[in-house]
Amino acid sequence: MGSSASLDAPAPVGFAEKIWRINWGLVLVLTAIAGVGVLALYSAAGGRFEPWAARHAVRYGSALMLMLVVALVHPKVWLALAWPIYIVSVLLLVAVDVIGKIGMGAQRWLVLGPIQIQPSEIAKVAVILVIARYYHGLRREQAGQFLYALPPLAMILVVVGLVMVQPDLGTAMMVLMGGGALLFVAGVRIWMFLAAGVAAVACLPIAWSLMHEYQKKRVLTFLDPDRDPLGAGYHITQSKIAIGSGGMFGKGFLKGTQSSLNFLPEKQTDFIFTTFVEEWGMAGALVLLGLYALVVVWGFSIAFRSQHHFGRLLALGVTAMLFLYMFINTAMVMGMLPVVGVPLPLVSNGGTALLSVMFACGLLIGVNVYRDAQLPRTR
């Protein structure tokens, strides 16, 4: 065993080789997306670096450092840390919910001394890690069995439930769909998804009764924007007007008329795509979507090249999360989905989301760096 292992196992990877294996092209694409963010935030502030664009650039710079460090950590470390990270993130979510109850109203932040933590951002990554670890330890037949699908489902639903009561519908949706995608590629049978879908539809009335008034309003408004064109539907309508009036090539940098008038809430976060597309048109939008598509393709290729299942699932989970982020946000501002409050990754203003996205990208690149590492199938 010992000798065959030494024959099979590739020579240990040196530091220079690790650096070489970092997907520098991917880093470049991510940086380009963040650059679009700086441009859009500069414009959203009326042609000023303050208060968003400059900070965004600085934050991206430090998040990039974090990403490179994470990328150089051996996957076995993440394998070992998956459960602790998941448990801690669940505890933090509970803490934030409890404090939210006491402190009244929506609570997404946890203040620990000088730093603010948004536990749902950690939980997103934690769910991917823990599910990847779970399936890494299963055989193929086991992955297809109904009973083995229950624990990961529970892992997802615990987080989804805790995030939903915050209430943060957008993140809950993201975790649910991202986790679902991960179960799908891990080998859970298709009929189980269909069954879950049927069950979900059956549960809709219950979910409906549990939703907050404003959430119901958003769903109704999404289904029929003309219902309340001056209230909740107003922002979607205005966003569509801004995007639509941008046309093929946009109104030009800093020339957006809709965005410069403060009719959009959160124009620096959730509606940043609107600001960008109004000024750069369909051409700019396609370039941005193309950059995201490049990231996704890169993620898939990293997943395919990974020699270990943990890496594959991790890479795919991260990729799916990024895609969902991007899709939900852009579909929302174009009126294809209800307004749920999901930022556009790497473009929207906001430190925690940027950090968690870059952390996840670090994991993704790490899979490539250690693509031929041998990981024991522990449970």
Q: Which residues bind other proteins (CB under 8 A)?
A: 1, 4-5, 8, 139-140, 143, 181, 184-187, 230, 238, 240-248, 257-258, 261-263, 277, 281-282, 285-286, 289, 293, 296, 300, 303-304, 308-309, 312-313, 316, 320, 323, 327, 330-331, 334, 336, 377
What minimum distance in Å lies between the beta carbon of 264 and other proteins? 9
Nearer to other proteins, 168 or 278 (CB): 278
Q: CB of residue 4 vs other proteins: minimum separation in angstroms?
A: 6
Alpha helices in 247-271 (DSSP H): 257-260
Residues facing residue 115 across a β-bridge: 112
Q: Which CB, 73 or 331, lies closer to other proteins?
A: 331
Shortest distance (Å) from residue 89 CB to other proteins: 25
Closest CB 237 distance from other proteins, rounded Å = 8
To other proteins, the closest distance from the beta carbon of 260 in angstroms equals 9
Strand-pair category, 115-117 with 110-112 = antiparallel
Rounded least distance, CB 23 to other proteins, Å: 18
Kindly tell me which of 210 and 261 has the beta carbon lying closer to other proteins. Answer: 261
Report the nearest approach of other proteins to the CB of residue 242 (Å): 7
Say if residues 79 and 70 touch (Cβ distance below 8 Å).
no
Nearer to other proteins, 109 or 327 (CB): 327
Phi, psi (rounded to 5 degrees) for 112: -115, 95
Name which of 166 and 329 has its Cβ closer to other proteins: 329
Q: Between residues 167 and 250, which has the closer beta carbon with respect to other proteins?
A: 250
Inter-residue contact 134 to 155 (CB < 8 Å): yes
Closer of 166 and 268 to other proteins (Cβ): 268
What value, to the nearest 5°, has the Cα angle with vertex 20 and ends 304 and 79?
50
In terms of Cβ atoms closer than 10 Å to its own Cβ (0-12, 13-18, 19+), residue 114 is exposed
Identify each DSSP E strand in the chain by its residue range: 110-112, 115-117
CB 153 within 8 A of CB 183: yes
Output 54 or 293, the one with its CB closest to other proteins. 293
Q: How far is the CB of 228 from other proteins (least distance, A)?
A: 14
User: Would you state the structure tokens that stand for residue 293, as one six-digit string?
Assistant: 């598509």
Nearer residue to other proteins within complex by CB, 157 or 185? 185
Gap between the Cα atoms of 204 and 29, Å rounded: 40
CA distance 378 to 73: 19
Nearer to other proteins, 96 or 149 (CB): 149
CB of 327 to other proteins, least distance (A): 5
Residue 325: CB partners within 8 Å, gap ≥ 6? 174, 342, 343, 344, 345, 357
Quick check: bond before 167 cis, omega within 30?
Answer: yes
- How many angstroms separate the CA atoms of 248 and 73, rounded? 44
* Axis-axis angle for helices 190-210, 169-186 (nearest 10): 170
Smallest distance from other proteins to CB 247, Å? 4
How far is Cα 267 from Cα 239, in angstroms, rounded to an integer? 10
CA-nearest of 82, 335, 356 to 343 is 356
